[in-house]
Structure 1
Amino acid sequence: MSRRAFVLRGLALLLFVAFVTAPQLFAFVFEPLAANRAPAIYNQGSLLALTLSHLRTVALATLASTVLAVALGILVTRPWGQEFLPLSRAIVNIGQTFPPVAVLAIAVPLVGFGEKPAFIALFLYGLLPIFENTLTGLTGVSPQTLEAAKGMGLNARQRLLQVELPLALPVILAGIRLSVIISLGTATIGSTVAAKGLGEVIIAGLQSNNLAFVLQGGLVVALMAVLIHDGLGLAERMAARKPGRHGGEAA
């Protein structure tokens, strides 16, 4: 990353922190969008609390998606598990087959309103990119490398943990990054089922015809997406630079 890009990202982070912690300081920016003397800054709850709730739901859903998707990726790349590839693909494609709104509609009668249906929707939606990148990363490890590890006396479990997963890590991280970015935007619809998040700000703006609220919710989500995208991208590059590893994005 160039020095200029680093400075810009730093300024974006400072702007993000300043806005979610003290949004009233930016009221003058949004006042032209608030018609009929409506509030310029969202005043129906704490913007910081909603941001943290939004991030919490995305983080938990991504963690669960990562555990299942990586486990399935490992399973189907073992000689004894290759026959489960079609079934695994069918499982991870569920989230892409059914739109999140449909998943929410099905989940609410089962688990009620709140964070749970949003978690389920994001969990299912995040499986595919992580699974496919895990598959790409593990199958991309050269046979010569695996043969050399076997010649060194490593058993199958040791080869997986010490050779295959470390080499595949940059590609797996690329899938996680894509899943997180998708979930950050998708999580806004969770507010339609009473899940706490930045969707509340956007929905409140749409209901009251207050463009200032809509823009605030959208800007916070967009800034989070940019900052997290860059942070995970940096983690990928660091993983790829370590000796003996090769990386690349399959996302």
Structure 2
Amino acid sequence: MIRPGLLLRLVVFTALIAFLAMPDRFAGLLAPLTDNGAPAIYNQGSLVSLTLSHLFTVALATSAATIVAVGLAIFVTRPAGAEFLALSRAAVNIGQTFPPVAVLALSVPAMGFGEGPTRLALFLYGLLPIFENSLVGLSTLPPAVVESASAMGMTGRQRLLKVELPLAMPLIIEGIRLSAVIGLATATIGSTVAAKGLGEVIVAGLQSNNLAFVVQGGVITGILAVLISDGFQILARRTSKRRGASPQASRPATDGQQAPV
């Protein structure tokens, strides 16, 4: 039997696909939000193309942030890198210190207009949650498990790949989830520097005073954020069950805040 929550998400996902594929069919629903005969459906570009560009930008930035943040967390939890913990924390906090808008403004002169500045801003903004969750996951492993792995003759590399990372994976996934959801919402500002994405729809609506455009861009972004967040949560739970991790061990850091170490 399908659970009500899952059924609701399937309905929402189906409605989103239907809207992206045949937006004109929904014009009647959005028409009351327009004035003076303005179009109810965004007509300055393909909603499918803008959605895919938006997702690609977020996926690329989140992937890069994951590689760097997890790599840093691994490094500072090794004896050789322990003394660099404070420096690493300061580095990943840069994205939270400077608002994405400021990063865009500073990077446009060097990188030009387009997706580049947006990807850089999302990359910097997504480092902190992944790094902190990875750090917690790798530094709070059961000592008995780590000692048993060493007693079995595993090298440091084998212990990392076969024991530490698998046990820390639920928390790492939660960090990636936070980064992806934050990036999905933040990417809408990329349209201010000519980056293709759903922000283009929202900005066009604000400039033309067309509430229907604003609602379209905002609702599509919101639905994608919820669906992606749910997907990562399901993946984290399944990983936790496979590894026998307790639910308490896989709680993520609060959005925008550091997880306790």
Aligned position for 1:231:
231
Inter-partner Cα distance in structure 2 for 1:32 and 1:244: 52
Contact 1:122 1:186 (C-alpha < 8 Å) held by counterparts: yes
Aligned position for 1:142:
142
Q: 1:249 aligns with which of 230, 248, 251?
A: 251
Contact 1:201 1:217 (C-alpha < 8 Å) held by counterparts: yes
Aligned pairs for 1:16-55 within 5 A? 16-55=16-55
After the TM superposition, which of the residue ranges 235-244 and 111-120 deviates more from structure 2?
235-244
Structure 2: stretches of 5+ with no match in the other structure: 254-261
In structure 2, relative to structure 1, the CA distance for the partners of 1:2 and 1:145 (3 Å cut) is farther
Aligned position for 2:7:
7
Q: Deviations over 1:6-52 (max 9, x none)?
A: 10010011011111111111111100001110000000000000000
| TM-score between the two structures when normalised by the length of structure 1 | 0.98
| TM-score between the two structures when normalised by the length of structure 2 | 0.94
Contact 1:95 1:127 (C-alpha < 8 Å) held by counterparts: yes
One-letter amino acid matched to 1:123: F
After the TM superposition, which of the residue ranges 2-11 and 49-58 deviates more from structure 2?
2-11
Aligned position for 2:157:
157
Per the TM alignment, residue 148 of structure 1 is displaced from its structure 2 partner at its CA by: 0.5
Q: Deviations over 1:111-138 (max 9, x none)?
A: 1000000000000000000000000000
Contact 1:65 1:126 (C-alpha < 8 Å) held by counterparts: yes
Aligned pairs for 1:1-251 within 5 A? 3-246=3-246, 247-251=249-253
Q: Deviations over 1:35-87 (max 9, x none)?
A: 11000000000000000000000000000000000000000000110011011
Inter-partner Cα distance in structure 1 for 2:252 and 2:184: 20
Q: Deviations over 1:74-118 (max 9, x none)?
A: 000001100110110111000000000000000000010000000
- Tell me the matched-pair count: 251
Per the TM alignment, residue 244 of structure 1 is displaced from its structure 2 partner at its CA by: 4.3
Inter-partner Cα distance in structure 2 for 1:13 and 1:244: 31
Contact 1:184 1:221 (C-alpha < 8 Å) held by counterparts: yes
Contact 1:23 1:41 (C-alpha < 8 Å) held by counterparts: yes
One-letter amino acid matched to 2:251: E
Inter-partner Cα distance in structure 1 for 2:245 and 2:33: 51
Q: Which 4+ stretches in 1 moved above 2 angstroms?
A: 243-247
In structure 2, relative to structure 1, the CA distance for the partners of 1:62 and 1:83 (3 Å cut) is same
Contact 1:38 1:210 (C-alpha < 8 Å) held by counterparts: yes
The percent identity for this pair of structures is 61
One-letter amino acid matched to 1:158: Q
Contact 1:190 1:199 (C-alpha < 8 Å) held by counterparts: yes
Aligned position for 2:258:
none
Output the aligned Cα RMSD: 1.1
Inter-partner Cα distance in structure 1 for 2:231 and 2:241: 16
Per the TM alignment, residue 217 of structure 1 is displaced from its structure 2 partner at its CA by: 0.2
SS in 1 for 2:250: coil
Inter-partner Cα distance in structure 2 for 1:177 and 1:164: 20
One-letter amino acid matched to 1:108: V
One-letter amino acid matched to 1:97: T
Structure 1: stretches of 5+ with no match in the other structure: none
Contact 2:167 2:243 (C-alpha < 8 Å) held by counterparts: no
Aligned position for 2:259:
none
One-letter amino acid matched to 1:248: S
